[in-house]
A and B are shown apart, each in its own frame.
Chain A
Amino acid sequence: MAHLGPGKAASSKEQAGLRYPSNGKTIYHRPLNRTKTAELSQSSFAYLFSEMVSYAQRRVTGIQELEKRLNLQGHPIGLKLLDLLLTREPPRSQTRPLTIIALLHFIKINLWTHLFGRQADRLEKSSNPDTPDEYMIVDNEPLVNAYISVPREMSQLNCAAFVAGIIEGVCDGAMFPARVTAHSVGGKEEGEMWPGKTVFLVKFQPEVLEREALIGKG
């Protein structure tokens, strides 16, 4: 493959053993900014995603493990999107998220708009006093689940675990280590407004809250 992999060069100055694409264009020659209308076909994404799910499903013993694998597939995407979306911000509002709220807003607005063309539906903080480290991002109908029907015996499964992985990548990258899981909360009754409603539960590590308290004081 004529791909310019960063790890392929034998030494940093030597160009031997390194192959350029035939047109001489590398990833560095491509622009970072896309026009707003550059959208991808949803059907091709759905096809790719169904393959990703069945790939993750191989040799797994349980639903938890399957969700873990989907999560891992999304994680690097989140890490990269964090920097990409920051560079696309206008220079004045180009700031790193320093607080949990700023980070979650970045996810709800920038990340969601980039991935799904709209904002996430709601942002909530856990009302349970025992878990102040838990926040929830609510999506009424996740795009990734649009063509997925979960079999009855696997009703625990929510394939939006992939999106949860992306969120986790963004949080980890911004130095807010967290565990993110996807849960279906839509009711099963007839006439339910949002049967596919999904909650992304973001559980931050204790050190994040500790730091948050320190920053608040200073």
Chain B
Amino acid sequence: MSYYFAIIGTQDNPLFEYDFGTSKQGGDGQPRFSEQARHLNQFVLHSSLDIVEEVQWTNGQLNLKVIDKFFTNYISCFMTGGNVKFLLLHQPTATAGGANTTRNSTSVGANPTSPQTEEAIKNFFTEVYDNYVKAIMSPFYKVNMEVRSPVFRQRVAAAGRKYL
């Protein structure tokens, strides 16, 4: 599974982006997006913002779960109190042949809508949210400012390795 994670500000402006691959089931943590998909991912995430705006007023939870699907890309959303969106695009790796699908059907890597995946993504979001709140606690941080801290990036990467 490959992941593309982005933090979107209140003006639909990107604040942070990071792509990574699964580290479960022997994954090496590298994203497997094609060069084209890398550019496409940004558009896919951006287009799902419309759906976020519909969902956010019907569900008061922070974690809005999977809100959108674009071909094989699933988009999960987490909404902070300050109306900043965490979007995670996850793309299952195309399985070569149907031989091992039964074994993989419950693993985080293969089935984007299973409860296990949902739980893993929830944990990932929660950890990123903690770090994001720390980032905005900086008195020099103003709303909708890009998050550039390398420490923050390391923390997001670590959360990705830990849960996804």
Chain A interface (Cβ < 8 Å from any Cβ of B): 3-9, 12-13, 15, 18, 26-28, 30, 32, 76, 79-80, 82-87, 94-98, 102, 173-175, 211, 215, 218
Measured between beta carbons, the chain A residues less than 8 angstroms from B50 are none
Within the complex, what minimum Cβ distance (angstroms) separates A13 from chain B? 7
Most central of B58, B60, B82, B137 by chain A CB within 10 Å: B82
At the interface with chain A, which of B24-32, B87-95, B128-136? B128-136
Which chain B residue lies CB-closest to A15? B150
Assess the B151–A26 pair: CB atoms within 8 A: yes
Give per-residue flags for B9-47: 1 if the beta carbon is below 8 A from chain A beta carbons, else 0.
010000000000000000000000000000000000000
Complex CA distance for A62 and B141, rounded to whole angstroms: 30
- Shortest Cβ-Cβ A-B pairs, 5 listed: A95-B60, A86-B81, A173-B82, A82-B81, A83-B81
Complex CA distance for A27 and B149, rounded to whole angstroms: 10
* Interface range, B side: 35 or more
Assess the A7–B133 pair: CB atoms within 8 A: no
Measured between beta carbons, the chain A residues less than 8 angstroms from B61 are 94-96
B101 at the interface (CB under 8 A from A): no
Assess the A76–B134 pair: CB atoms within 8 A: no
Complex CA distance for A121 and B26, rounded to whole angstroms: 57
Which chain B residue lies CB-closest to A94? B62
Assess the B62–A7 pair: CB atoms within 8 A: no
Measured between beta carbons, the chain B residues less than 8 angstroms from A98 are 57, 60
B161 at the interface (CB under 8 A from A): no
Known contacts A12-B153, A76-B142, A84-B137, then 12 further A-B pairs from the complex at CB < 8 Å, ordered by chain A residue: A5-B138, A6-B146, A15-B150, A28-B152, A28-B155, A30-B134, A87-B133, A96-B62, A98-B60, A173-B143, A174-B82, A175-B83
Within the complex, what minimum Cβ distance (angstroms) separates A110 from chain B? 11
Chain B interface (Cβ < 8 Å from any Cβ of A): 10, 56-58, 60-62, 79-83, 129-138, 140-143, 145-153, 155
Assess the A27–B137 pair: CB atoms within 8 A: yes
Assess the A76–B151 pair: CB atoms within 8 A: no
Complex CA distance for A26 and B138, rounded to whole angstroms: 10
Within the complex, what minimum Cβ distance (angstroms) separates B146 from chain A? 7
Assess the B80–A95 pair: CB atoms within 8 A: no
With A27-B138, A32-B133 known as contacts, the answer to whether A96 contacts B150 (CB < 8 A) is no
Assess the A211–B57 pair: CB atoms within 8 A: yes
Assess the A97–B137 pair: CB atoms within 8 A: no
Complex CA distance for A9 and B16, rounded to whole angstroms: 14
Assess the B152–A7 pair: CB atoms within 8 A: no
Within the complex, what minimum Cβ distance (angstroms) separates A218 from chain B? 7
Residue pairs across A and B with Cβ atoms less than 8 A apart, 29 shown, are A3-B140, A4-B138, A4-B149, A4-B151, A5-B138, A6-B140, A6-B141, A6-B145, A6-B146, A8-B148, A9-B149, A13-B150, A18-B150, A26-B151, A27-B135, A27-B137, A32-B133, A79-B136, A80-B136, A83-B82, A86-B62, A87-B130, A94-B61, A95-B61, A173-B82, A173-B83, A174-B81, A175-B83, A215-B58
